[in-house]
Amino acid sequence: MARPVFIIDGSRTPFLKARSGPGPFTPVDLAVQCGRPLLARQPFSPDSFDQVILGCVNVIADEMNPARVAALRLGMGEDMVAFTVQINCGSGMQSIDTAYRYIREGHADMILAGGTEALSHAPLVWPNSGVRWFAGLATAKGVAAKLAASFKLRPRDLKPIIGLERGLTDPVTDLNMGQTAEVVGHLFGITRAQSDAYAAESHRRLAHAQGAGFLKDEVETAFARDGKFFDHDDGVRPDSTAETLAKLKPVFERPWGQVTAGNSSQITDGASWVILASDAAVAKHKLTPKAAIVDSNWAALDPSIMGLGPVMSATPLLQRNGLTLKDVETWELNEAFATQVLGCLAAWNDDKFCREILGLDGAAGEIDRDKLNVDGGAISLGHPVGTSGNRIVLHLVNAMKRLGTRRGVATECIGGGLGGAMLIEAV
C-alpha cells in the first residue's frame, strides 16, 4: 500500500536578478545559503536524511553533481547519497516528485529535495570553428607546425556564443521560449494589453506580499563572501503598470509580437529546498507536517506550444482524483510568460480545445484569478530554471496555510514540450 508523504518544511534564497556578469553565488552556494538555516532549525541532525535530490540545469564545471557537493557542504555526512536531476524548468519539481515516489513506495523515510540555478553563471561558449582551431594547435607537433596552425585562426573563431541563449532555444523546432509563448498567444487570441496587465499585477502582488511579510518565513537572507547580504527578491518593480509596460518593444517577434522583457519571467539566480517525510519519520522525530502530496503528473506535447504544459499535465491529474478546476482553492502556475499563462487559462475555457485535445465533454472552466499566483510569480520574482518548480510547491504550501485553503495545485510549462503538476492538500 502506498504510504502518505508529507512536506515538513522548506526555505529558499532571495531570487536575485542577473545583471552584469556572474552573480555573487554559484548554484551550490545558493543551495547552501538556504539549506543551512533550514537544517539548523530541525529537531534532527543533518545526517538523518536518506538522500538528497537537487534539480539544476546549468551545472557549472566546478560543481559537477551539485546535489552531492551541496550535501557535503551542508554537513550531511560522507555516507549521504545525493544526485542531481534535470528536466529543464521542471527540475526543482522533479526532485520533489522523485523523493515523493521513493517515500511513498517505502524506499526512504526522509529526503531533502531542492532546486538551484545561477543563470548569471551560464557560460560563454566557443564556436565549433574555434574549438577545431584550438585542437589543431594543441596537437601540432613542433614549433613550425604550431606556428602554421596558429596562422589559421580567424576572428570568427573567437566570437563567443551566449550559452544561455542557446539553452533557451528548442533544438528541434529552433524556436526560443519567447517565440513559443508567441505561438500560444496567437492560438488563443491573447492581446498585448492583456499580457501587460497581467505582468503589472504580478509585480503588484509580489510587492504586497513582501510588504505584508508573507515571505518572511520562506526567504532566507543570503550572505556573500564580500560581506554583502541579500534579503529579498530584487526583481520586483512595484511601479509597473500596464501603461508603462506598453511602451516596451517586443523582444522575439518584432514588430507585432506580444512578448516583451516586461511581461516575461526574469533571468535570475536562486535556490529552494523542501523536506519530505513519511508518517514513520514524522512520528520518530515528532515533526509537524505542513501539507501532504496527494498525486503528481507529467505530460508531453509539441515543443512549439510548450507553454500549454500546465493544461496537459494538470487536467489528467485532476481527473484521476475526481476533481475539477473549481475544486482547487489555490493555484501556483509558473509565470514563464504572461502570454503563456493567459493562454493556459484560455485553453481550459475553450470548448473546442477541451473536447478535441483534452477529451473532455466541454470547457473545463475558468480559474478565479484571485486563486492564481496570489503573491506574484516568475514575472516579478524571476525564473531560475532548475529552481522554479521547487519554489512554486514551497510557496503553494505556505500560501495555503496562510489562506486556510485545503487543496492546491502547483504546475508549470517545461522547455522541450513538457508539463508538470502536483496536487497538494493541507493537513
At 125, which helix (H) or strand (E)?
A: strand 124-125
Which member of 56, 203, 354, 383 is catalytic?
383
Residue 125 has pLDDT above 90, yes or no: no
Helix axes 91-104, 388-403, angle to 10 degrees: 70
Sign of the Cα pseudo-torsion (129, 135, 138, 140, in order): negative
Residue 1 has pLDDT above 80, yes or no: no
Percentage, residues of the chain above pLDDT 90: 93
**81 class by beta-carbon count within 10 Å (0-12 exposed, 13-18 middle, 19+ buried):** middle
Nearest to 299 by CA among 90, 84, 54: 90
pLDDT in tens, 169-204: 899 999 999 999 999 999 999 999 999 999 999 999
> φ, ψ for residue 66 (rounded to 5)?
-60, -25
At 67, which helix (H) or strand (E)?
A: helix 66-73
The per-residue pLDDT for 162 is 83
Cβ pair 387, 272 in contact under 8 A = yes
The DSSP secondary-structure symbol of 127 reads -
Bond before 310 cis per omega within 30 degrees: no
pLDDT in tens, 255-271: 889 999 999 999 999 99
pLDDT in tens, 365-379: 999 999 999 999 999
Cell numbers for 306:
510548450
Beta bridge partners of 300: 418
At 413, which helix (H) or strand (E)?
A: strand 407-414
Cβ pair 422, 341 in contact under 8 A = no
Catalytic annotation on 344? no
Which CATH number does 177-214+293-426 carry? 3.40.47.10
Sign of the Cα pseudo-torsion (179, 185, 186, 192, in order): negative
Q: For all residues of the chain together, what is the average pLDDT?
A: 96
Nearest to 29 by CA among 91, 123, 116: 116
Distances (CA, A) of 299 to 2, 247, 351: 22, 36, 21
pLDDT in tens, 73-90: 999 999 999 999 999 999
Q: How far apart are CA 175 and CA 199, in angstroms?
A: 23
Which member of 34, 89, 344, 354 is catalytic?
89
What SS3 class is residue 229?
strand
Catalytic annotation on 383? yes
Q: How far apart are CA 209 and CA 369, in angstroms?
A: 16
Catalytic annotation on 413? yes
Q: Binning pLDDT at 50, 70 and 90, where does residue 160 land? A: confident
Nearest to 271 by CA among 419, 125, 118: 118
Phi-psi map region of 417: left, alpha, beta (phi>0 left; psi -120 to 50 alpha): left
Q: What are the sequence ranges of the domains in the chain? A: 177-214+293-426
Q: How far apart are CA 83 and CA 57, in angstroms?
A: 13
Buried b / exposed e over 237-271, threshold 16 CB at 10 Å, is beebebeebbeeebbbbeeebbbbebbbbbbbbbb
Beta bridge partners of 374: 376
Cβ pair 38, 10 in contact under 8 A = yes
Cβ pair 364, 348 in contact under 8 A = yes
- The angle at the Cα of 120, spanning 135 to 81, to the nearest 5 degrees, equals 85
Nearest to 372 by CA among 415, 348, 402, 408: 408
Distances (CA, A) of 289 to 2, 9, 193: 18, 7, 42
The per-residue pLDDT for 141 is 94
Mean pLDDT, rounded, for 337-349:
98
Q: Binning pLDDT at 50, 70 and 90, where does residue 163 land? A: confident
Cβ pair 321, 294 in contact under 8 A = yes
Which residue has better confidence, 205 or 155? 205
| Strands 5-12, 291-300: pairing kind | antiparallel
